[in-house]
Amino acid sequence: MERYTIIENFEPKNDPLLLAKAQSFLPVLKHTEVSPKAAFFLSESSGTANTPVDLDASFSLSLGPGSHICYDFGTHWVGYVTLALSFTGSHPDAPAYIRLQFAERESELYESEENYHGWISKSWIQQEYLHVDKLPASLRLPRRYAFRFLKLTVLDTSRKFSVRINDLSLDAVSAVDLSAVPDVSFEDSMLSRIDAVSVKTLSECMQEVFEDGPKRDRRLWLGDLRLEALANYATFNDLNSVRRCLYLFAGTRFPDDRVSACLFTDGEAVADDTWFSDYALLYPVALAEYIAHSDDREALHDLYETAVFQLDRAVAACDTDGIVSAEDIEAAFIDWAPNHEKSACMQGLFLYTLSYGRYLARKAQDADREKAFAKAQELGRAGARARFWDSTNGAISSGIQDSSAARIWLTLGGVLTQEEAKHALLVLPAEVPLVSPYIHHYYLEALLTAGEKEAALQHLKFYWGGMIQQNADTFWEIWNPEDPDASPYGGTIVNSYCHAWSCSPSYFLRNNLL
């Protein structure tokens, strides 16, 4: 399901003051030197045993045309590789032609660019083709990579020499230090592992902004930001990083003051010409949670109008029954599920975000706004029950797509009673299942709203634990236990296996779940 927009001659509306404040919160990245922990020759096919190579011995091998060596750095890292190469045999009389493949999971090493024909650019595939004209040479690759495994293949040399790897290291970077996270003791070893992988995932995505994924897209996405911020409060508690991202979204917007779904932040921050209606409504949610956690009055003053505008616009677009507009439904993301009809989902999400708007209005002493949001919420809940919910049968109304996401958002939006929510979330089969860890976060929220704490805990163990059982070092962008090779892009070679919207188990485990 392709999902992108192109607006010709798009020019964001920038606020220099807000962008300058965002820049003042820029983190200083921490650097860690990492060496490979093991070496091996890759087997011919995935799922069969690799051939281990003594790590020290790997640095004295002669690698001729067609030969390769793989290195395992022990866990997932984000950073810059330095490679020291020399030669054996006669003096090189031609360049050494080398291919480097970087993989977050070992299975990626078996995938090829030639077999990928998806709609996300293949330029995201993590690989380098190098012509090394002079040997010996020390090369620091200018591009940052996210990986655990590195495969070096010698594509060609002349007949007079072979390539030797003398040294290999990684300058790993992150805005945070894993040792700064408070220890939490869990009696269940699976929960301990889930928490640790969640924290690792978050730390890898915390760079100069909260990136959605350090492999791809390396951007600041609003939906990811909200979940990253929640996990961050429970772990690193890096308030400047959250504040920086909130200021960036307010500092570069659509010309009509809508917040963009994502920002480009490599250099000067620029709003993308992509607008997701549900992501825009999560901006006041993220701001409200930041204010509640930090009591940052300056941020409330600076960002309040941007936040409440997102709700003002949505309220004004509703029909007379308080139902969100067709434009907002069409522009919603919700989840990667294909053929997803999103009207009930978007209605519940809209009502959910109004609660956070009311909180912000009270904090800002804006009584008129608080009253308007309360009125819109009351009207929208009544309209939602009439249009989307069959209380007689305890199900989504006939003729409206009965998706799991719809039940989640109608629960979170306060449309369903607690008993109705329990039945809808735990008993009824759904036409459209949940696909991404992003929507699974909101499933946990909905279960807790319905009073189903034990069910939420068991689902967390089942879903995120499923990735652990697949040897995940960090949590993934997409995980469908019934279709492990699912990809919304047309090929798993561009899937992200360290993704921000998967990091929220630490938020639940360290707060209200245990």
The predicted model gives 28-47 an average pLDDT of: 95
- 210-219: pLDDT as tens digits: 999 999 999 9
In sign, the C-alpha dihedral spanning 250, 253, 258, 259 is negative
Which residue bears the tokens 């045309």? 65
**Model confidence band, residue 514 (pLDDT cutoffs 50, 70, 90):** low
Q: State which fold the 13-28+176-509 domain adopts.
A: Glycosyltransferase (1.50.10)
Which residue bears the tokens 């805005």? 175
**Model confidence band, residue 5 (pLDDT cutoffs 50, 70, 90):** confident
The string of DSSP letters for 386-402 reads HHHEETTTTEEPTTS--
| Token pair in block for residue 453 | 């704490």
Q: What is the DSSP letter of 49?
A: P
- 304-348: pLDDT as tens digits: 999 999 999 999 999 999 999 999 999 999 999 988 999 999 999
| Token pair in block for residue 31 | 């650097």
Average pLDDT of the chain, as a whole number = 96
Q: Say if residue 136 is preceded by a cis peptide, omega within 30 of 0.
A: yes
**In one letter, which amino acid is 180?**
A
Query: 397 pLDDT exceeds 90?
Result: yes
**In one letter, which amino acid is 215?**
K
| Token pair in block for residue 193 | 């592992």
The string of DSSP letters for 204-241 reads HHBSSSB-S-TTTT-SEEHHHHHHHHHHHHHTT--HHH
Which residue bears the tokens 């959605």? 212
Q: Which residues of 39-54 are buried (b: 16+ CB within 10 A; e: fewer)?
A: bbbbeeeeeeeeeebe
Which residue bears the tokens 């047309």? 490
- Proportion of the chain in helix, strand, coil states, percent, rounded to 5: 40, 20, 40
Residue 379 and residue 132: Cα distance in Å, rounded?
68
Phi, psi at 234, each rounded to 5°: -85, -5
513: CB partners within 8 A, 6+ apart: 444, 448, 453, 456, 457, 460
Coil vs helix vs strand at 162? strand
Phi, psi at 148, each rounded to 5°: -115, -35
Coil vs helix vs strand at 111? coil
Q: Do the bridges between strand 161-174 and strand 30-34 make them parallel or antiparallel, or are there none, so unpaired?
A: antiparallel
**In one letter, which amino acid is 392?**
T
Q: What pLDDT is recorded for position 53? A: 98
Q: Which residues of 355-391 are buried (b: 16+ CB within 10 A; e: fewer)?
A: bbbbbbbebbebeebbebbeebbebbbebbbebbbee
For residue 327, with 0-12 CB atoms within 10 Å meaning exposed, 13-18 middle and 19 or more buried, which class applies?
A: exposed
The predicted model gives 377-396 an average pLDDT of: 95
Residue boundaries of the structural domains of the chain: 13-28+176-509, 30-174
- 224-249: pLDDT as tens digits: 999 999 999 999 999 999 999 999 99
Cβ pair 415, 446 in contact under 8 A: no
Q: What pLDDT is recorded for position 3? A: 67
Residue 423 and residue 200: Cα distance in Å, rounded?
35
Coil vs helix vs strand at 34? strand
Q: State which fold the 30-174 domain adopts.
A: Jelly Rolls (2.60.120)
Query: 1 pLDDT exceeds 60?
Result: no
Q: How many CA atoms lie within 13 A of 172 on its CB side?
A: 22
Q: How many CA atoms lie within 13 A of 378 on its CB side?
A: 6
Q: What is the DSSP letter of 451?
A: T
Cβ pair 258, 275 in contact under 8 A: yes
| Token pair in block for residue 125 | 């595939």
Query: 157 pLDDT exceeds 80?
Result: yes
In this prediction the pTM is 0.97
- 112-126: pLDDT as tens digits: 999 999 999 999 999
Fold match between domain 13-28+176-509 and domain 30-174: no
The predicted model gives 471-490 an average pLDDT of: 95
Q: What is the DSSP letter of 87?
A: E
